[in-house]
Chain A
């Protein structure tokens, strides 16, 4: 990773932490912002897919799928942004879906790692269970919109910390003739 990229990544991570903390401090406004952000994210991903189709996938076997996924994502994103009065529902669906996927994947990984004798399976298992607990919390407190805001904020902070750690790692490979 180049120095510029490292610095950029750390700056982005710091901004992510600040934004997450701000959202968690004012959850009543935070959930609308997050819902808007989720819609934007979907629309942005849709655009990314469309660009990817033009630059990479248009001559690829099965490339039409990329075009289709891009269009649907873009459409869904715009649709979600139109429904800001239902922001709490969007937020809960998003947070539950994300953590449910990560929870199941974590447990699948743990089982596989345990089979391979990798001691890291306990961490995967704990992460999987942790994610499923977050899903349960969201569903139990479905009327309290601040809960998914806290969960979302904590997730953003966790990603930011990982970004900083990755940026500080030495990664270059040494070559000797």
Chain B
């Protein structure tokens, strides 16, 4: 997913779930900030790099793909963009190392989504924003894993788009970093095939290009791991479900519903706007920001400002932990810590070691001390 959904659509979902305009705006900002909070950004504001929620292409190229580097990459991408669906999934004919990667395949309605939403309960709006980003991406990024792996994230080259009238059109790929996709000629950018299992070119949905990030598209392809089975990716349907699930999750965070259960969607909340939302989700365009922004304005009667990554930088420089970015950093550390722990306790070392403070005391990366003092302070 991209800015159109993580910022504008998240604002709409937050507003429909009952948040005020200001709260919805902050929540949507936080959801989009997950795609901008890189180590480069954190260094520029003199904050801990361990709170990074994403990586730029240049940062990825700079990473050493040794054990430590791969664990760092996996922690970031599995925690925030490719939340694993089932950490105990079984697959036939598989070695332990293959299984560990297979178990990181992202998908909606897994137990970790529930854990993510529940972790955000009772915390600030920044944490709720992060949870909404993670939840939404489980729909868009399903069938790919947040760890570099050729055997999981590779695809065949024969992608086919299914047009609204039911006819099909072959999708072609080019490998030109930075170039934009050409909808008219069905020519999309994707990463080049690389035989190295742990190459960063084999991270996430790179081989499918930005197709998972466009709400309008329906297409068929064969993922590397599914025994040559062709799968249908119906983005309009998936994005609609993501939208309705976000509303339900935010109602839970606000205390309007008692629990957040997976595979449940707040369809009633969008009944009045069904046609409008479907129109936006199915419109053939690379960026739906303008349409979502207009819809957001219709909902709240307020003007939605353009997203600006540096909006809270000055505040952070003077107020540090008590600022928006300060609280976002804490929430990001908390989410990363939780997901890493779940992966580690499933006897999967791809995200590295996790040390439980309650049983082992403090050890490990010292920047997590802040998370410990905050959590211990909250519980005592």
Interface residue range, chain B: 35 or more
Q: Is the CB of A61 within 8 A of B222?
A: yes
Q: Is the CB of B337 within 8 A of A175?
A: yes
Q: Is the CB of A177 within 8 A of B365?
A: no
6 closest Cβ contacts across the A-B interface?
A172-B364, A174-B368, A175-B341, A112-B58, A172-B353, A176-B375
Q: Is the CB of B356 within 8 A of A175?
A: yes
Binds B, one of A17-25, A90-98, A113-121, A135-143: A113-121
Near A by CB (< 8 A), chain B positions 332-380 give: 336-338, 340-341, 344, 351-358, 362-366, 368-369, 371-372, 375-376
Known: A69-B195, A105-B61, A172-B365. A56 touches B156 (CB 8 A): no
Cβ distance A66 to chain B, nearest Cβ, rounded Å: 6
A77 to B75, CA, bound (A): 36
* Residue interface bits A35-60, CB-to-B below 8 A is 1, else 0: 00000000000000100100111011
B275 at the interface (CB under 8 A from A): no
Cβ distance A105 to chain B, nearest Cβ, rounded Å: 7
A65 to B157, CA, bound (A): 14
A2 to B352, CA, bound (A): 10
Interface residue range, chain A: 35 or more
**Which chain B residues border A60 with CB–CB below 8 Å?**
150-151, 154, 224-225
Known: A1-B68, A120-B62, A175-B341. A49 touches B222 (CB 8 A): no
A146 at the interface (CB under 8 A from B): no
Q: Is the CB of A176 within 8 A of B376?
A: yes
- Please name 8 further chain A to chain B contacts, defined as beta carbons within 8 Å, in addition to the given A115-B58, A171-B71, A171-B365, sorted by A numbering: A61-B222, A66-B195, A172-B365, A174-B354, A174-B355, A174-B365, A175-B341, A175-B354
* Residue interface bits B56-94, CB-to-A below 8 A is 1, else 0: 111101101011100100010000000000000000010
Known: A174-B363, A175-B357. A112 touches B61 (CB 8 A): yes
